[in-house]
Amino acid sequence: MTTKRPLTAVLTGAGISTDSGIPDYRGPKGLWQRDPSAQQLVTIGPYLADTEIRRRAWLMRRDAGALHAEPNAGHRALVELERAGVPMRVLTQNVDGLHQAAGQTPRKVLELHGTARDVRCASCGDRGPMTGALARVEAGEPDPACLVCGGILRPCTVMFGESLDLTVLDQAEAVSIACEVFVAVGTSLQVHPAAGLAEVAVTNGARLIVVNGEPTPYDEMAHEVIREPISTALPALVERLLAV
């Protein structure tokens, strides 16, 4: 007789991607600590209002090299969880697309903060690949405009000052209510409403496991807190979950 696997929700934050060369934002060595002014580059008001901020933002995207990052052992461990037949959903605060690149089924990944792999026009909504826009920056356009209407191009991410997509958030909340295991990986659990999904899960009876290098506001309600490096801790945790 086959044992029914519990529905598992995994909320991932910047910490799962640091081993892929993508820096986090809020950690002790995060981008906001090193350059607090950089937050303006991803804040919707200043971005739309100031050409110089957009130029700096395009240079940041060009130099970050996030589109060339490769999935690491943490991403691959979650793929193994899915391939083992565990009913699961990944709720990610990341915009790097590395879960899908690792082999996670795209429909099982809810991108709470959008994706940095595409751009769209703030005026007409035309959408295209980030690689195309970055190629124009490399060719000498400091602030590439929409090729359709000439409007401002922006990443398909949820920037500071914007609300999350309510459809995606509703889906994430439904998963959090229904799951029996909720794993928070590499997230400070400080950015709401995404962070509140952990409490939603616990309130509805889920077992909460926190895997993060720094303390989080939800550690006290967690059934288990793991402080080890994610690229080693997550594969080990997945192995334990599969052994149950």
Q: What is the pLDDT of residues 183-235, one digit of tens each?
A: 999 999 998 899 999 999 999 999 999 999 999 999 999 999 999 999 999 99
Candidates 68, 75, 99, 113; catalytic one: 113
Could you tell me the pLDDT band of residue 14, with boundaries at 50, 70 and 90?
A: very high
Mean pLDDT of the 55-83 span: 92
The C-alpha torsion from 165 through 168 and 173 to 176, rounded to 10°, is: -140
**Both 38 and 147 in a single domain?**
yes
Residue in the block written with tokens 């991108």? 111
Give the total number of structural domains in the chain.
2
**DSSP H or E segment with residue 11:** strand 8-12
Q: What is the pLDDT of residue 63?
A: 86
Q: CA–CA separation, 140 vs 127, rounded Å?
A: 21
pTM for the structure as a whole: 0.89
Mean pLDDT of the 9-13 span: 97
For the stretch 102-124, pLDDT in tens is: 999 999 999 999 999 999 999 99
Between helix 230-243 and helix 73-83 the angle, nearest 10°, is 10
**Both 16 and 34 in a single domain?**
no
What region does 88 belong to: left with phi over 0, alpha with psi -120 to 50, or beta?
A: beta
For the stretch 36-49, pLDDT in tens is: 677 889 999 999 99
For residue 130, the SS3 value is helix
Q: Is 68 a catalytic residue?
A: no
**Could you tell me the residue range of the domain that residue 135 belongs to?**
23-68+116-157
**Both 176 and 98 in a single domain?**
yes
**Both 17 and 27 in a single domain?**
no
Residue in the block written with tokens 């709470």? 112
How many other C-beta atoms are found inside a 10 Å radius of the C-beta of residue 132?
A: 13
More confident position, 66 or 54: 54
- Mean of all residue pLDDT scores within the chain: 92
**Both 134 and 177 in a single domain?**
no
Whole-angstrom Cα Rg for the chain: 19
Q: CA–CA separation, 44 vs 53, rounded Å?
A: 11
Which candidate, 144, 165, 152, places its Cα nearest to that of 95? 165
**Both 179 and 190 in a single domain?**
yes
Whether pLDDT at 1 is above 50? no
**Both 242 and 182 in a single domain?**
yes
Please give the structure tokens belonging to residue 57: 């933002």
Residues 78 and 189 sit within 8 Å (Cβ to Cβ) = no
**Both 96 and 181 in a single domain?**
yes
- Helix ranges restricted to H, the chain: 31-34, 44-49, 51-64, 73-83, 98-102, 130-138, 166-178, 197-203, 230-243
**Both 204 and 223 in a single domain?**
yes
We report the CATH number of the domain holding residue 83 as 3.40.50.1220
How many other C-beta atoms are found inside a 10 Å radius of the C-beta of residue 195?
A: 19
